[in-house]
Structure 1
Amino acid sequence: MDVNTIRLNHVSTGSELPCSPQVVEDGGEEDEEELSGGEEADLRSSSGRGSLLTRRGITLRVLLKDSLVEPGDGVLSIHYLGKNFIGDLLTDGKIRWVETGQIFNSPSAWATHCKRLVNPAKKSGCGWASVRYRGQKLVQYKTTWLHKYQPSADMSLVSEEDDDEDEEEGKTAVQADEKNKNNKPGLHDVMVSRRTDRERIPVRYCTLGTRDAARDPHTLVELSAFSAINRFQPFNVAVSSNVLLLMDFHCHLTTSEVVGYLGGRWDTNTQLLTVLRAFPCRTRLADRDSASAVEEEICQNLFMRGLSLVGWYHSHPRGPALPSLQDIDSQMDHQLRLQGSNNGFQPCLGIICGPYYHGNQGVASTITPFWVVPPPEQRPNDYGIPVAVEVTYVQDNFLTSDVLNEMMLLVDYYRAAPDIVQFTQYWCPDTTMMDKIKGSLSCHAPKDQAYSQILEHVYSQLNNMQ
């Protein structure tokens, strides 16, 4: 199959606390008031009476009743001054801190409690801006609720708390920068960039409905499980760790989106798709002039290695590793083209890598393999259904010369790029960008520890790029 069939465009502190569950109601100045069932029902009609709901009126219980969030274990998190706190969202809208089992009535109560453990002088928690649900700030869900039920509402009602928290984090970064400016250059710049990155909240597939040309094609969509749509995954997938390492390295180099291809083999007898090589595209997504030459080179590399084109990858540099509506359509198109005209089945794997999304746990990138199931026949105008693909990761014994060569070619390509990541700057107060990429790549480390010496040469080249 010609490679041109795929287009190039495109957790806790160590404080001793009671072990038995207890309800904590102290949330500082911003704790939400409990609403009765009748009051919650009135929220939807408040705009019709000429009044608008303020941000304090929207509680987790309201969001749960309207299915904007779901109860679950470990779905809530707080990241504050280098400390991580994980919480369970209960069915009644309360929060259970995983570490101690304590129950909190609101995000503000939990955030204030956790932040005081780290900083006893902390007076309030800015809970809705500090607590994240599945990586997204809760304040964003307030915005979604108001857009849905009170579209005329002033969005400043839900953004002011977010701004307050971002301002506080920004001040913390500036103070740390002033204190450690001799050995922590660039910290302020990194933290400011975090403040200007506005997060996109993923939507559920079931909320999309029929295609709408007015819908933002960059809307992110949560992945479904095959079991959720009453299907079995129609193929097995095995991915080489060297594939993940090269792909993750590529995605870390620039603040712009990157793309690449995946080479491997498809065994019709065992229904196993084996991904053996990543082929980064050393070109800009909008550069159509060089795209054909890059694709031709990759096509030759595939042929020389006896491999087939089995998929593609791309990055969401600062966002969640979830497909957008545009990604869903692209993936569906790739699947159909790889299948060819003989109606034989060959899967095409899509992978999204999110290297610099601050909702990730730790320094490791989030890597998301996905596939798209066509919409039901009775609803041909719906979007395809993005589903998570279960993958077996195969640990390579050593770093191949091909992978090392590709890494050096990428370094040379991005060396003078205006959007090159500044690896001497700070990812967070205690972690440089260089620490970040090293930590993420270590997740895909070969068994042979000699790779670390080889990669140190690559990292030295990254330092020389600044």
Structure 2
Amino acid sequence: GKKFVGDLGGDGTITWQETGQVFHSPSAWATHCKRLVNPAKKSGCGWASVRYKGQKLDQYKAAWLRQHQPNVPPPEEGLASEGEEEEMPEEEEEEAAGEGRVPAPEPAAPKKPEERSKKQQCKSLAEPAGTDLGTPGKRLDIKPRVPVRYCTLGTRDSARNPQTLVEVTSFAAINKFQPFNVAISSNVLLLLDFHSHLTRSEVVGYLGGRWDTNTQLLTVLRAFPCRTRLGDAEAAGAVEEEPIPLPTGPYYHGNPGVESKIAPFWVMPPPEQRPNDYGIPMEVEVTYLQDGFLTNDVVQEMTLLVEFYKGAPDLVKFQELWSQDQTYLDKLKGSLATHSPKEQSFTHVLEQIYSLLK
């Protein structure tokens, strides 16, 4: 077996003794070492495969959680523990030596967005709710779908309804840290919200951006709405073939609803020793970045969406009343205002878009 030795710094970095190369997190260090040993093998989390003074870092992390988050409930039965999910053979473990303190918790490395094809999307979703289907002056009471708890699912079952909703689980509830960071721009949120408000039907689209291995940060910079019906298999194939200028990873899926709400989550793979289990939907914390101005690509996508839905039976009638004193157009304007860029001159551009909806 191969053993790698590095120095653990006080700031959480690891310096490889052999080359002097500095890694910004246990995950970056572990991923690099595993690629040297077996490039074809799937990389796990660095916390469970790096040892400090003979003890795995995930044990230090668990102790830190118990000390700083004493009220966090124990992990639910059926959810993978860090050791179960990321356990590595002894010969492939990496060791961080030195007298530095145990680093602050760092996220682990997900797959790079560019490594995922459009047909096999990342399990990270942003679900903006669209407009309701109400009649003028009256909002529709949408029958809620009751989600089930993950621990009740058991192993994969072809008889289970594939549309079953599953409650998301927080990382704190299973004594884990979110294994990566996510930032999303206000322009992306604005386009997602606009797409969801246009129609009474479900909407989907791709998200594109960049992945930083050192900081474990996924930055979502663009949204690419799918201008097709979910049931149109022929058109869906054509959409998948459209070129996209950025690596795609996550996607978004919007359902008609009363409120505009974006709820990002990531489906964590089941542990390797239980491959027939369902993935675990984990709530993802996101940093929102305000753009300086409304970019031309967003305006173009908004215009194309209006053209696609124009005349369709499920297009929202924006002049009708959403509530007693507010039209659907008023509701749309108010929702998009929460994603506005810093430069306020964008309002006249949006007014041109709004004029197309009248």
Query: TM-score higher than 0.5 here?
Result: yes
The alpha-carbon deviation at position 382 of structure 1 amounts to 2.4
Identity across aligned pairs (percent)?
Answer: 62
**Contact 2:270/2:277, CA 8 A, preserved across alignment:** yes
Secondary structure at the aligned position of 1:276 is classed as strand
**Contact 2:119/2:240, CA 8 A, preserved across alignment:** no
Post-superposition Cα deviations, 1:192-234, rounded to whole Å, max 9, x if no partner, equal xx14x32112222223233333333222222111121232211
**Contact 2:118/2:249, CA 8 A, preserved across alignment:** no
Counterpart selection for 1:418 from 313, 325, 328: 313
Is 2:169 the counterpart of 1:220?
no
Secondary structure at the aligned position of 2:262 is classed as strand
Is 2:264 the counterpart of 1:315?
no
Q: Corresponding residue for 1:187?
A: 136
**Contact 1:250/1:407, CA 8 A, preserved across alignment:** yes
Secondary structure at the aligned position of 2:344 is classed as coil
**Contact 1:240/1:276, CA 8 A, preserved across alignment:** yes
Superposition map of 1:56-455 within 5 A: 187=136, 190-191=138-139, 194-195=140-141, 197-297=142-242, 299=243, 301-302=244-245, 307-318=246-257, 357=258, 360=259, 365-455=260-350
**Contact 1:425/1:432, CA 8 A, preserved across alignment:** yes
**Structure 2 gaps, min length 5:** 1-113, 122-133
In structure 1, distance between residues paired with 2:264 and 2:118: 21
Between Structure 1 and Structure 2, the one with more helix by share is 1
**Contact 1:3/1:295, CA 8 A, preserved across alignment:** no
Superposition map of 1:450-461 within 5 A: 450-461=345-356
The structure-2 alpha-carbon separation of the partners of 1:385 and 1:282, relative to structure 1 and needing over 3 Å to count, comes to same
1:207 corresponds to which letter in structure 2?
A: T
Secondary structure at the aligned position of 2:357 is classed as helix
In structure 2, distance between residues paired with 1:436 and 1:3: 36
The alpha-carbon deviation at position 3 of structure 1 amounts to 4.6
Q: Corresponding residue for 1:328?
A: none
**Contact 1:250/1:410, CA 8 A, preserved across alignment:** yes
Is 2:119 the counterpart of 1:5?
yes
In structure 2, distance between residues paired with 1:211 and 1:292: 27
The alpha-carbon deviation at position 405 of structure 1 amounts to 0.7
In structure 1, distance between residues paired with 2:341 and 2:278: 39
Secondary structure at the aligned position of 1:403 is classed as helix
The structure-2 alpha-carbon separation of the partners of 1:296 and 1:212, relative to structure 1 and needing over 3 Å to count, comes to closer
**Contact 2:292/2:341, CA 8 A, preserved across alignment:** yes
Secondary structure at the aligned position of 1:455 is classed as helix
The alpha-carbon deviation at position 378 of structure 1 amounts to 4.5
**Contact 1:187/1:429, CA 8 A, preserved across alignment:** no
In structure 1, distance between residues paired with 2:247 and 2:158: 35
Aligned residue pairs: how many? 232
The alpha-carbon deviation at position 429 of structure 1 amounts to 2.5
The structure-2 alpha-carbon separation of the partners of 1:248 and 1:6, relative to structure 1 and needing over 3 Å to count, comes to farther
Tell me how large the CA RMSD over aligned residues is. 2.0
In structure 1, distance between residues paired with 2:331 and 2:290: 21
The alpha-carbon deviation at position 426 of structure 1 amounts to 2.2
2:248 corresponds to which letter in structure 1?
A: L
In structure 2, distance between residues paired with 1:419 and 1:440: 20
- Indicate the structure whose relative CO is greater, using CA pairs within 8 Å and at least 6 residues apart: 2
Secondary structure at the aligned position of 1:393 is classed as strand
In structure 2, distance between residues paired with 1:202 and 1:312: 21
In structure 2, distance between residues paired with 1:433 and 1:407: 17
**Structure 1 gaps, min length 5:** 8-172, 174-185, 319-356
1:310 corresponds to which letter in structure 2?
A: G
Secondary structure at the aligned position of 1:376 is classed as coil
The alpha-carbon deviation at position 445 of structure 1 amounts to 0.5
1:381 corresponds to which letter in structure 2?
A: N
Secondary structure at the aligned position of 2:148 is classed as coil
In structure 1, distance between residues paired with 2:183 and 2:308: 30
Secondary structure at the aligned position of 2:349 is classed as helix
In structure 1, distance between residues paired with 2:119 and 2:136: 43
